[in-house]
Amino acid sequence: MATHYGRVTLFATTAIAAGLFATQLAAQDNPIDAVTPVTDEMLLNPPDGDWLMWRRTYNGWGYSPLDQINKDNVKDLKLAWAWGMSPGGRTQETPLVHDGVMYIQNSSHLIQALDAASGDLIWEYQYTLPDEVDPNGERSKAIYDDKLIIATRDAHLIALDTKTGQLVWDKQVANYKHGFAFSSGPLVANGVIVQGMTSCSNAQPGGCFFTGHDVNTGEELWRVHTIARGDTPEGNSWNGVPLESRHGGSAWITGSYDPEQNLVFAGVGQVYPWNVEIAGLTPPSADPNVTNEALYTNSTLAIDPTTGELKWYHQYLPTDSLDLDYVYERMLIDLPFEGETRKQVVTTGKIGIIESLDRNTGEWLWAKETVPQNVVLSIDEETGAKEINPEVIPVIGQTTFNCPADPGGRAWQATAYSPRTEALYLPTVEFCSNTTVNPLDPGQIYTGGGLQTYSRVPLPDGDGNIGQVRAVKLTDQSDMWMYRQYPPITSSTLPTGGGVVFAGSLDRKFMAFDDETGEMLWSSGKLDNALESFPITYEADGKQYVAIVASWASGLGRLASLTPDVKLPPDNPHTLYVFALPD
Partner 1 sequence: MPITSASARLAGLLLSLAVPLAVLLQAPAAAQPQPEFFDVPYAPGQWNIGRRFDESQLRYCIDKRDPDWEMAGDIADTIAAGLLLEPQRYVVESEMVLEDITKLYGVMLKHCDIHMGFKLIPEGYPAWVILSRPYYETEYVFVTADPEVTSLADLAPGHPIAATVGTMAHIRLVAYQSALPADRRWPTYPMGSNERALATLLDGTADVALVWAPSLWAMQREDPAYADLHVIDPRPLPAITLGVGAIFLSNESFLRAAVDEAIAALVADGTIEAILEKYAFPATARP
Binding site for partner 1 (CB under 8 A): 87-89, 132, 134-135, 176-179, 201-205, 240-242, 244-245, 247, 273, 277-280, 283, 285-286, 396-397, 437-449, 451, 453, 554, 557-558, 560-561, 564, 571
Please, which residue, 11 or 446, has the CB nearer to partner 1? 446
- In angstroms, give the least distance from the CB of 205 to partner 1: 6
Helix (H, G, I), strand (E, B) or coil at 459: coil
- In angstroms, give the least distance from the CB of 103 to partner 1: 24
Count of Cβ atoms closer than 10 Å to residue 152 Cβ: 23
Helix (H, G, I), strand (E, B) or coil at 207: coil
The Cα–Cα gap between 167 and 218 comes to 12
The Cα-based distances of 403 to 158, 427, 461 in angstroms read: 40, 16, 13
Please, which residue, 240 or 372, has the CB nearer to partner 1? 240
SS (H, E, C) 466-514: CEEEEEEECCCCEEEEEEEECCCECCCCEEECCCEEEEEECCCCEEEEE
Phi, psi (degrees; rounded to nearest 5) at 391:
-75, -15
Please, which residue, 284 or 336, has the CB nearer to partner 1? 284
Amino acid letter at 279?
A
- In angstroms, give the least distance from the CB of 454 to partner 1: 9
Amino acid letter at 269?
G
- In angstroms, give the least distance from the CB of 560 to partner 1: 7
The Cα–Cα gap between 8 and 283 comes to 71
Buried b (16+ CB within 10 A) or exposed e, 360-373: bebbbbbbbebbbb
Phi, psi (degrees; rounded to nearest 5) at 43:
-70, -30
The Cα–Cα gap between 361 and 380 comes to 18
The Cα–Cα gap between 190 and 43 comes to 9
Please, which residue, 39 or 245, has the CB nearer to partner 1? 245
Helix (H, G, I), strand (E, B) or coil at 245: helix
- In angstroms, give the least distance from the CB of 135 to partner 1: 6
Please, which residue, 45 or 399, has the CB nearer to partner 1? 399
- In angstroms, give the least distance from the CB of 414 to partner 1: 20
Please, which residue, 217 or 561, has the CB nearer to partner 1? 561
Please, which residue, 5 or 176, has the CB nearer to partner 1? 176
- In angstroms, give the least distance from the CB of 317 to partner 1: 20
Please, which residue, 453 or 465, has the CB nearer to partner 1? 453
Please, which residue, 74 or 129, has the CB nearer to partner 1? 129
- In angstroms, give the least distance from the CB of 365 to partner 1: 35
Cis amide linkage into residue 446, ω under 30° from 0: no
Cis amide linkage into residue 283, ω under 30° from 0: yes
How is residue 64 annotated by DSSP?
B
- In angstroms, give the least distance from the CB of 323 to partner 1: 12
